[in-house]
Amino acid sequence: MRQIDALKSPRFAQISTFARLPRCSDPSEGAVFVGVPFDDATTYRPGARFGPSGIRDGSRLLRPYNPFLEVYPFDELNACDAGDVDTVPGHIEDTMRAVESFMGPVFKETVPFVAGGDHSITLSLLRSVHGAHGKVNLIHFDSHYDFWDNHWGKKYTHGTWLRRAIEEGLVNRVIQVGIRGSVYSHQDKDDGRKLGVTSLDVRVVKSNLPATLEALNSLSGKTYISFDIDAVDPAFAPGTGTPEVGGFTSYEALEIVRSLKLQLVGFDVVEVAPPYDVSELTSMLAANLVYEAMSVVAKGRKR
């Protein structure tokens, strides 16, 4: 988009690119960073519509070489920033259509790294993944199950996307990582079992990180990762809409992601809400999680 056209667009939230990467207009140019600035499906604090711009700001200090994985992720992936999807504030179904029409071709061409937005966007992303790859495994980092049937009678919210994805047959194995906090009833746990979801709660993960990594790395075939930043403790990631105390440290979150050896077809980090952030802590962590995920994909290509 030419600068003068950008001035006429209501896409006012985007002000920079991820990690100062070049802008790409053609997604097939390389692995792309994409923003989805939408937060009308949140149930508590809104603000995740500013996640993409916050994460771009939080990414400015990222440097080209990852010494832990010994890769240059941006070079290896020919990475660029494709800008934001044209979401429609206040209208979730229009936004879902916009995400699917933008992301469908992107998933066919390359591996996208998506910054939300609230977690409702992941249903549209998984529909696009399914269109490109068929059923994939899902690793879902979160403090919440997100498989409620509805909220206030509504089927599409940030707490119901996973049940919709399972109902629509978009996913194979689903492993949740970091579950904690109070829920409405014991039913939630039973529902997970009925839906065939493996939930590794925060105690299980924290008490035995190697066993968790083994479980995740045992997934075979194409895998998608959705990372709700509230999987991390609010002491490390305060800028989010439905915080739950007692989560991962930022080190643990980064270490889990960078230790994955999987065939990733895409990655999203959602629920970053900069209005509640402190000193860009949450945005910087989200940017670094994207960086580690890019590095995992880059490392896989080098092998």
Residue 144 interacts with Mn ion (CB under 5 A): yes or no: yes
Q: State which residue has the least CB distance to Mn ion.
A: 144
Question: 119 vs 299, which CB is nearer to Mn ion?
Answer: 119
Q: Which long-range contacts (CB under 8 A, 24 or more apart) does 216-221 make?
A: 216/139, 216/175, 216/177, 216/256, 216/260, 216/262, 217/259, 217/260, 217/261, 217/262, 219/137, 219/139, 219/173, 219/175, 219/262, 221/136, 221/137, 221/172, 221/263
Q: Is 119 annotated as a binding residue?
A: yes
Please give the backbone phi and psi of residue 292, each rounded to the nearest 5 degrees, phi first: -65, -40
Residue 268 interacts with Mn ion (CB under 5 A): yes or no: no
Stretch that binds Mn ion, among 30-38, 84-92, 135-143, 216-224 (CB under 5 A): 135-143
- Reduced to 3 states (helix: H, G, I; strand: E, B; else coil), residue 232 is strand
Question: Considering only residues 228, 252, 277, 292, which one is a binding residue for Mn ion as defined by CB under 5 A?
Answer: 228
Question: 110 vs 282, which CB is nearer to Mn ion?
Answer: 282
Closest CB 215 distance from Mn ion, rounded Å:
20
Closest CA to 52 of 117, 6, 103: 117
Residue 180 interacts with Mn ion (CB under 5 A): yes or no: no
The token pair at 29 is 């140019």
Question: Considering only residues 39, 40, 84, 142, which one is a binding residue for Mn ion as defined by CB under 5 A?
Answer: 142
Q: Is 230 annotated as a binding residue?
A: yes
Residue 280 interacts with Mn ion (CB under 5 A): yes or no: no
One symbol per residue from 87 to 126: x for binding Mn ion (CB under 5 A), - otherwise; what is it? ----------------------------------------
Could you tell me the end-to-end alpha-carbon distance of the chain, in angstroms, rounded to an integer? Answer: 36
Question: 95 vs 242, which CB is nearer to Mn ion?
Answer: 242
**Residue 198: half-sphere exposure toward Cβ, Cα within 13 Å:** 16
Q: Which residues make up the interface to Mn ion (CB under 5 A)?
A: 142, 144, 228, 230
